[in-house]
A and B are shown apart, each in its own frame.
Chain A
Amino acid sequence: GQQVMQIPQYQHVQEGEDFTTYCNSSTTLSNIQWYKQRPGGHPVFLIQLVKSGEVKKQKRLTFQFGEAKKNSSLHITATQTTDVGTYFCAGEGGSWGKLQFGAGTQVVVTP
């Protein structure tokens, strides 16, 4: 069955540095979404990508969907302490409406 893997599991970043988290699926995805969960909170929708090769930006965040629609990445530039949290990708692959989440990348920012 479909599996969505996310790397790295943990990311320690110095404030001001850039980092990237990656999401890889064993099967082709119809779409992929990214969510952010602050410690003790619930996941919050960030963005959805649907088209092959699609790139979207939200301020310091850049999201990319691979050409084969099997991988995606989230790149954050000039990390701030407000970026602390766990970032999840989620993809619709096998069945309509069935979403699979990656295990998440936990981001810790050092001032």
Chain B
Amino acid sequence: EAQVTQNPRYLITVTGKKLTVTCSQNMNHEYMSWYRQDPGLGLRQIYYSMNVEVTDKGDVPEGYKVSRKEKRNFPLILESPSPNQTSLYFCASSRYLGQGRGGSYEQYFGPGTRLTVT
């Protein structure tokens, strides 16, 4: 079954304790992205990756790190979480069709990770 998996699904942690949220896709997609969702703000892109070893900042990258060592995995790292990073996080992947801008992004989203930082 084609899917994007995230772990953990729920996490409560304390300020400053490093954590990693894993994301894995089994569709051989080139494009992967992380979003956070907060009430009234929609989805905001944190980081994205066009392919292995290629990552770029989205609109809200502060306080986050990512890596793309393999095509299927795109972990999100919070080195020193703070309460303002309490949010619902989604990972997504897409087969990118096209060259340059204007290509196709049919994003498949993971189930989400609800993170609470106290």
Contacts and interface: CB of A to CB of B under 8 A. Distances in A.
Interface of A: 1, 6, 9, 30-31, 33, 35, 42-45, 48, 50, 88, 90, 92, 95-104
Contact of B107 (A45, A96, A100): A45
B35 to A, nearest CB: 7
Contact of A99 (B40, B48, B102, B112): B48
Given A30-B101, A44-B109, A45-B107, A97 B42 contact: no
A103 B104 CA distance: 21
Interface residues of B, number: 29
Interface of B: 31, 33, 35, 40-45, 48, 50, 56, 58-59, 90, 92, 100-112
Contacts, number: 70
Contacts of B56: 95, 97-98
A63 B93 CA distance: 23
A77 B36 CA distance: 31
- A1, A33, A97: which has the most chain B beta carbons within 10 Å? A97
A61 B113 CA distance: 30
